[in-house]
A and B are shown apart, each in its own frame.
Chain A
């Protein structure tokens, strides 16, 4: 058998992952035409590169179809319940930094904390007859966070992209999304709540606790960890 490692199939996340492994003596590369999703691994035997969408890597790790995977902490925690029992974080890779935050319109000068958001949500529902809408693609993480802060009278509306635009378009009143510099938020007249940081995320290398491994795989994993200085 071989040890399968899942890596994001395109973009900066892929390049930075290749660089991170390259710095540690393991060359990951794509082969064939740049449209073909196949890859090779040099510098260690018994490891196979699997190119995947970053969003699918959590699921593949949990199912045990790949042994190792590079993806964001945000995606692991959103997509896997009991994630700590299913995967182990081997290394934080130091790139792909992003914060999952809750933001509201800057013009809501009366709202600065989660407590304020809850009070505004109660008044909003009484005034408009429906629950205050929060646009996000991180349904579980946002719901858990709002619950732990005792926020009621809200609803989550799904937004898979251009989330910052939902407020202006009046399809949501507030948003929960990933931000790195905050520029998109400012451009859309949104501000982060002072206690609205849900999660600090970065690209990380995860190990699947459920993927079957034979004796050779265990040896390969040890060698890999040694090379990566983990």
Chain B
């Protein structure tokens, strides 16, 4: 591992690169409201972040990243457009891998700008690419927006689309839902019995707890409607599978996706946005004839990215976490903005990993 002094110096250098690019330095408290983070990520984050508490403020979390507090700060009193940078320690609980550090420095760059999403995507990616210098890394990119467009474009009920959207970041559950909506999974006997029952509440016993009888009735009604909803067609499922398995250079992926999605308005628009981004990346000097694109990339990471996603990985070190990651998170600004929203994209670099790949001198 690189020395602490070297890591701090490298972090300062990266931070300076971002300041030179026009970013304002911002700070976030080390202790964050656990409630905000739990509401965003759900209970799973307890396995990845440290929770502490006091009798006055209740549960607090050692910041697992800067993005959430930076978005909150911007939504509260930021001017537009804005570019921010930060440099500090984040904390990640490691329950399964003792070799991974539970605290490390992140240096980040975040852009809040309505003007041109393709250009800001390219700006963040190429700035981070440049800041990484000669470190031997390979880049991976993806686009959650193409997947969400594919779901929204399905010829099925809004309820089914909402269920799929909710599980986009849980590929296994997403797949199970697709199989069920396509009629490829058998309906459980208990479900069939419930829907066939004349009085579903015959053996219900007394009602207790906060979830009321009307909520149960509402769900039974929804299940009845769902049972009448036609299966997703094989053609639709095949298209989704073909989209999900696209893995080629950015240039080729645009052409391939255009071919796959011809005539599907929502998907065509999403692929257009991808095409614009690739053009913007090329304008920034990125070699899009070699930069890889993977349609299912980024689905298992933190679930706030909803458009462009990217990561830089150590060449030949599959065991190491990515040296840099980032993406677009418009929906996060909507959730934290209390009615307001703004397109946003950003990325972070880990200086300790950078140095460990270059033997100390970046």
Contacts and interface: CB of A to CB of B under 8 A. Distances in A.
Contacts of A143: 43-44, 46-47
Interface stretch (A2-10, A31-39, A103-111, A205-213): A103-111
Interface in B189-232: 190-191, 194, 200-201, 203-211, 213, 215-216, 218-220, 223
A119 B163 contact: yes
B204 A109 contact: yes
B173 interface: yes
B190 A189 contact: no
B278 to A, nearest CB: 33
Contacts of B220: 109-110
A118 B190 CA distance: 16
A155 B173 contact: no
A173 B210 CA distance: 7
A150 B173 contact: yes
A152 interface: yes
Interface stretch (A18-26, A66-74, A124-132): A124-132
A167 interface: yes
B133 interface: no
Nearest to B208: A168
Interface residues of B, number: 39
A150 B170 contact: yes
B167 A150 contact: yes
A107 B219 contact: no
A113 B173 CA distance: 14
Nearest to B210: A170
Interface in A86-136: 105-110, 112-113, 115, 118-120, 122-124, 127-128, 131-132
B208 A107 contact: yes
22 contacts: A81-B95, A106-B204, A107-B208, A108-B211, A109-B200, A109-B203, A109-B220, A110-B223, A112-B188, A112-B194, A120-B219, A122-B163, A123-B215, A124-B215, A128-B210, A150-B173, A152-B42, A152-B166, A152-B170, A156-B46, A168-B208, A194-B190
Given A131-B42, A150-B176, 9 more contacts: A107-B208, A110-B220, A119-B219, A122-B166, A123-B219, A131-B43, A150-B170, A170-B210, A189-B205
